[in-house]
Amino acid sequence: MKITYKLISGIIVAFGLFGLFGCPSAESNPKEEKWDISKQCVEVKAPDFVLEDLKGNQVMLSDYKGKPVLLVFTATWCPYCRAEIPHLKEIYSKYNAKGLEIIYIDIQESVDKVSSFMAKHNIPFKTLLDKDGKVAYLFGVRGIPTKVLIGKDGTILCMACRSIDSMLDKLFGA
């Protein structure tokens, strides 16, 4: 995968604008009763990437064009990531039939370690290996777990999503 300087600078500028100006949400505006997807910043396209799954197959984010995608950046050693697994399984169970894809992206760990972990925890969603951490860097991941919600059109709806349940309910009209 070739990452150009122009792409990286554009993403850094875009993420900088998110941090500088913020996007309205229920957490940042206490007067708002519910999160409103129409009031989110929806101007930044998610960068495409290619990673391998646990069987060595190459998977591109653009393979999921037309579907909402929840990227979950994680690692097997992370206690918060492990604690989040049951909730992610509930989300998958509730929204996968409605079109949501969850992509678990493990950062800088071996295929053997990750495969064993996924089998032990019976993870039902696609797991990809970010062997060198470049995709995590591309998405501005600073800590794990980090969730990134991407809309059907490839636009980032939420970076480091905290209120993912209300966002998904609104997105899917639940």
Handedness of CA 88, 81, 71, 57 (dihedral sign): negative
The amino acid at 101: E
In sequence order, the 6+-apart residues with CB closer than 8 A to the CB of 149 are 68, 69, 70, 71, 156, 157, 158, 161, 164, 167, 168, 171
In sequence order, the 6+-apart residues with CB closer than 8 A to the CB of 75 are 81, 106, 107, 108, 109, 144
78 is an active site residue: no
In sequence order, the 6+-apart residues with CB closer than 8 A to the CB of 28 are 22
Catalytic residue among 41, 81, 158, 161: 81
Rounded CA-CA distance 146/141 in Å is: 7
Three-state secondary structure call for residue 125? coil
Rounded CA-CA distance 24/120 in Å is: 39
Residues designated catalytic? 81
